[in-house]
Structure 1
Amino acid sequence: MATFLSSTSLTTSSFLIKPTSRLACFPQKITARTAKTPILAMATAPPTTTTKVAPAVIVGGGRVGRALQDLGSGQDLLVKRGEPVPLDFQGPIFVCTRNDDLDAVLEVTPKSRWSDLVFFQNGMLEPWFQSKGLGDADQVLAYFAVSKLGEPPTDGKTDTNPEGLTAAYGKWASAIAERLHSGGLSCKVLEKEAFQKQMLEKLIWISAFMLVGARHPGATVGAVEKEFRTEVSSLIAELASAAATEKGIVFEDGIEERLCAYSRAVAHFPTAVKEFKWRNGWFYSLSEKAIAEGTPDPCPLHTAWLKELKVI
């Protein structure tokens, strides 16, 4: 099975999404922020010449970690589960583990090197970053697939974004892009706000498609996009509205089409509600906060379906 990878709080509640026929359920609020740059259309094309990539420590010997090592120049240091991260190895530290292993990674990494950590995980990591004092941590949204250990990665390009979707943010972002480009993979280097928007879009994708798929046992991502489009469209709209309000951001037009296009690109991918804390759990935390404050649930459909599946 292919592995597809992938979080600062602002305060304004205004957001803008120009509705398409499938996004008519979005509330429309006009803000002064009318100048928009499409965050998923800023691709940096892979270079045509060979580039010597910077050596890195790679934490995690799974499919993604091994694939990144294969894209290196032979000077990387692979650190397996439980092994310490060296103090004297200069360069980025690529963290390619499961989200639930992140605490253990910090424990074996010298604190003086935490600023060199680069996180390749899916989901909403911002609350965890804040709890650990990591602040503005480097991150990568990896839209590529590694079918099995040792095989080269396949770029996750879509019909709406043929230039590729993988993006990197932080001080090591350029080094990451060079490494991926050396293997013919796409990668954008984004500033914080643009990266956050793209991160939230992927969070909405994985939360919406996995939840709708779980309501229809056996449904793949492709089946959700094709057969249960109305359900997933409603959920995308709801989650995007809640995320935009919480983070004070403006999503670019066409979010539903971008997410559905990605689903067509990974149509065979199975669905299940997993890693709740890092995915759907963030949206449910917004619901819990609103209810505790005596205000309406911003994600009532999401909450109802989580209850239906006995996830909460």
Structure 2
Amino acid sequence: MSFSLFSFSSTLTTTTATPLPKFRFRVSSVMASTVTTTKVAPAVIVGGGRVGKALEGMGDGQDLLVKRGDSIPLDFEGPILVCTRNDDLDSVLQTTPLSRWKDLVFFQNGMLEPWLESKGLKDGNQVLAYFAVSKLGESPIDGKTDTNPEGLTAAYGKWSSAVSERLQAGGLSCKVLDKEAFQKQMLEKLIWICSVMLVGARHGGVSVGVVEKEFHLELCSLIAELASAAASEKGLTFEQAMEDRLCAYSRAVAHFPTAVKEFKWRNGWFYALSEKAIAQGKQDPCPLHTKWLKELKIV
């Protein structure tokens, strides 16, 4: 979910003999080897894993796929789609000409805002990718639930429309959002991954579906706590029924395993809010989160 949400592994298959679940994925009809009929802007794609290869398969053969650590060309126009782990982002910048930094499009999960701001990329291009690529070379699967039948994937920034067109050419949904709307959805996704992974980890690494079904109260309590802390920190108001939306998504990806990973980019952001409040003599805004992190000896 890397465990990365945009590189989810899926074992879902559909047959006429088996009833379809209420929450289902829509399988793209465009295989990676199929030439798309929609005109897609050529792109540099950084990372040759499942997501990078899937994005390349949505193009028209004019893309340039570079491996992690390879230099980004100065004279290749168009977006630079970054499909690496978060911890590799510094090296991506080092191999990208400074004049092209604003063309970078980040597909990573987690809280990237502090890192982006530290690099002068406050308005950097980002994508919230809610789709699965089960194996290298296979078609992506769109994650849709009945609470969000329009799809959850969203893009922001200079290249958002180009990214949306590419994903739609591959049979996937993708909304283009303004800064505030994107920030809300980014935080909501962050809250989901931090909540479901932590609750699952404290129960032995059970699947996402088990977390949602058997530890529903714990999950919803943590979602509400983190949502309140994030809203207060960012001065925004989330749409109502967040718990319902995130639980619906949990059921849609029920087979995913749980583990607390990439702490710096995920749960670490909320823990930093707790540390700041306590240092100022205030109450911890995320007491459950802090308690469970300590229970697992993560902090």
Matched, 1:170 2:157: yes
Q: TM-score, normalised by structure 1?
A: 0.85
Matched, 1:280 2:267: yes
**Are the equivalent residues in 1 in contact too, given 2:205–2:259 (CA < 8 A)?**
no
Query: How far apart in 2 are the matches of 1:123 and 1:107?
Result: 21
- 2:103 maps to a residue whose letter is D
Report what 1:103 is aligned to. Answer: 90
Aligned pair partner of 2:65 in 78, 87, 99: 78
1:1-312 equivalences under 5 Å are 4-5=5-6, 50-312=37-299
**Are the equivalent residues in 1 in contact too, given 2:58–2:170 (CA < 8 A)?**
yes
How far off is 1:158 after superposition? Answer: 1.0
How far off is 1:50 after superposition? Answer: 3.2
Please state whether the residue corresponding to 1:139 is helix, strand or coil. strand
Gap regions ≥5 residues in structure 2: 8-35
Query: How far apart in 2 are the matches of 1:152 and 1:170?
Result: 26
- 1:205 maps to a residue whose letter is W
Query: How far apart in 2 are the matches of 1:125 and 1:138?
Result: 11
**Are the equivalent residues in 2 in contact too, given 1:129–1:135 (CA < 8 A)?**
yes
How far off is 1:184 after superposition? Answer: 1.1
Please state whether the residue corresponding to 2:81 is helix, strand or coil. strand
How far off is 1:259 after superposition? Answer: 0.3
Q: TM-score, normalised by structure 2?
A: 0.89
Query: How far apart in 1 are the matches of 2:92 and 2:186?
Result: 22
Q: Which runs of 4+ in 1 moved over 3 A?
A: none
Query: How far apart in 2 are the matches of 1:126 and 1:271?
Result: 24
How far off is 1:62 after superposition? Answer: 0.4
Please state whether the residue corresponding to 2:87 is helix, strand or coil. helix
Report what 1:23 is aligned to. Answer: none
Alpha-carbon spacing, 1:218–1:291, altered in 2? closer, same or farther (3 Å): closer
Identify the structure with bigger relative contact order (alpha carbons < 8 Å, sequence gap 6+). Answer: 1
**Are the equivalent residues in 2 in contact too, given 1:3–1:147 (CA < 8 A)?**
no
**Are the equivalent residues in 2 in contact too, given 1:174–1:189 (CA < 8 A)?**
yes
Identity %: 79
How far off is 1:271 after superposition? Answer: 0.1
- 2:6 maps to a residue whose letter is L
Query: How far apart in 1 are the matches of 2:68 and 2:246?
Result: 33
Query: How far apart in 2 are the matches of 1:103 and 1:183?
Result: 29
- 1:92 maps to a residue whose letter is P
Query: How far apart in 1 are the matches of 2:187 and 2:155?
Result: 14
What's the Cα RMSD here? Answer: 1.5
Query: How far apart in 2 are the matches of 1:4 and 1:125?
Result: 15
- 1:287 maps to a residue whose letter is S
How far off is 1:159 after superposition? Answer: 1.9
- 2:138 maps to a residue whose letter is E
Query: How far apart in 2 are the matches of 1:225 and 1:147?
Result: 22
Query: How far apart in 2 are the matches of 1:130 and 1:164?
Result: 28
Aligned residues: 271
- 1:85 maps to a residue whose letter is I
How far off is 1:4 after superposition? Answer: 2.4
**Are the equivalent residues in 2 in contact too, given 1:3–1:146 (CA < 8 A)?**
no
Please state whether the residue corresponding to 2:6 is helix, strand or coil. coil
**Are the equivalent residues in 2 in contact too, given 1:85–1:109 (CA < 8 A)?**
yes
How far off is 1:218 after superposition? Answer: 3.6
Deviations 1:176-201 (A, max 9, x none): 01001111100000000000000000
Please state whether the residue corresponding to 2:5 is helix, strand or coil. coil
How far off is 1:3 after superposition? Answer: 5.4
Query: How far apart in 1 are the matches of 2:277 and 2:123?
Result: 27
Query: How far apart in 2 are the matches of 1:218 and 1:172?
Result: 37
